[in-house]
Structure 1
Amino acid sequence: MKRVLFVCSRNRLRSPTAERVFGERRDLEVASAGLAPDAEEPVTAELLDWVEIVFVMEKAHRARLARRFRPHLRRARVICLDIPDDYGFMDPRLIDLLNAPPESVS
């Protein structure tokens, strides 16, 4: 079972939507977190030590994650989904973007 983390800024819209959408899969253990100081669930070193794959919503999240947690990302693959902060929680358009084929992910 793969351990996956979805990361956005405040863990209120995009990453919790992804956690809910992919949390139903039997082949994944899923969590979500945010990088902002006021995130609902903040990214922690322990969380990053647990995961195998980190999906960030924006390139800025990848850079911030690397700056703050580089030693804890050695085992995790970080993938940027390039999803802007334009969607509400469980927005059908956001769900469509999250379910896009892997080749459209950078």
Structure 2
Amino acid sequence: MPNLLFICSKNQWRSPTAELLFKNHAVHQARSAGTSDKARVKLNQKMIDWADHIFVMEYRHRDLIKQNFRLNGKALTVLNIEDIYPFNDPELVEILQASLAEYL
């Protein structure tokens, strides 16, 4: 079962919304985390190692991960979703569904 990891800054709105899309998914397991020290769930190397594919919301998240963690050849995709949506916002869900269609 491929493991998908979703990353944003504080793990409050965007990445938990993405994780929720995969709750009880037949094929994929998903988790989410944040890059900030104030993140609800803070990203760590164990999460990177667990993931088969890592999705970040912004280019700065990608850059932080590349600077601070070993990716060991993991696939990393920038979704380019701004931090303007609250948790589970219908527009955010629509954007995520379109961006992640091949996984859903």
1:51 has 2:51 as partner? yes
Identity %: 37
Report what 1:94 is aligned to: 92
The one-letter code sitting in structure 1 at the alignment partner of 2:51 is V
Q: Give, in angstroms, the shift of residue 90 of structure 1.
A: 0.3
1:7/1:34 contact within 8 Å kept: yes
Shift of 1:97: 0.5
- Residue matched to 1:63: 63
Amino acid across the alignment from 2:89: D
SS at 1:99 equivalent: helix
TM superposition shift of 1:74 = 1.1
Contact 1:52/1:75, CA 8 A, preserved across alignment: no
Measured in 1, the distance between the counterparts of 2:7 and 2:66 equals 13
Unaligned runs of 5+ in 2: none
Aligned to 1:15: 15
1:24: how far off? 3.1
| Counterpart mapping for 1:70-89 below 5 A | 71=70, 73-89=71-87
Q: Give the stretch that moved more between structures: 48-57 or 18-27.
A: 18-27
- Secondary structure in 2 aligned to 1:40? coil
The unaligned stretches of length 5 or more in structure 1 are: none
Runs (4+) of structure 1 exceeding 6 A deviation are none
Query: TM-score if structure 1 supplies the norm length?
Result: 0.90
TM-score (norm 2): 0.92
Root mean square deviation, CA, Å: 1.4
Q: Note the C-alpha offset of 1:23.
A: 2.2
1:76 Cα shift? 1.5
- Equivalent residue pairs, number: 101
